[in-house]
Every structure is written in structure tokens, then in C-alpha cells.
Amino acid sequence: MTRDEVILAIKDIIETIAPDEELDSLDVDERLRDQIELDSMDFLDIVMELRKRYGVQVPEEDYKELASLTSCADYLGPKLENVELKVGV
């Protein structure tokens, strides 16, 4: 996946978990929790969905790496390098 595809994948997962949130205007550098209503269970759902869709394991000590869309792309990019984007799953 490209960097933009990683961001699109994260947005698609968030849309699945929190369908009422407006994701088009998200600032990629600002913390997701500061922009949209995500509680700790929503965040765990994101991590679980990453594992389900893409086989990516995110250890609890790395959760901080998923704070913003930019940090998600930085952290997940190498892990998803040879993985195909799955949107609307």
C-alpha cells in the first residue's frame, strides 16, 4: 500500500466503527481522538479491524503510534507495503 492508501484504509475502518463521524475534513497531523469521538473501545476495534483485514498485529505498547493519520501511515506503511487495500469490507 502507498502512504495515501494506508490513510484511506484507516479512514475506512473508522467509518465502519463510527459511521456518524465526518472524516473528510480530518487533519492528518492532529490526534484522531481530538478530532472525532473515539473512546478506548473504538480504538481497540480499529486495532482488531487492522488485524482482521490486513493481518497486522499492533502490540499495546505501539498504540501511541496510531494517534494521527500521519503516525498511522508512518507506523503501518512498512507493515502493509505488499498488501492490497481493502475498502468497504
pLDDT digit string, tens, across residues 31-84: 999 999 888 899 999 999 999 999 999 999 999 999 999 999 999 999 999 898
Start-to-end CA span in the chain (Å): 16
User: 57-66, long-range: CB within 8 Å, 24+ apart, which pairs?
Assistant: 66/32
Work out the pLDDT band at 86, boundaries 50, 70, 90: confident
The pTM is what?
A: 0.90
Q: Of 56, 46, 2, which is closest to residue 21 (Cα–Cα)?
A: 46
Query: What are the domain boundaries of the chain?
Result: 3-80
Whether 3 has a pLDDT exceeding 90, the answer reads: yes
Whether 88 has a pLDDT exceeding 90, the answer reads: no
CB 81 within 8 Å of CB 54: no
Q: Which CATH number fits domain 3-80: 3.10.110.10, 3.40.50.11540, 1.10.1200.10, 3.40.50.2300?
A: 1.10.1200.10
Cell of 41: 473501545
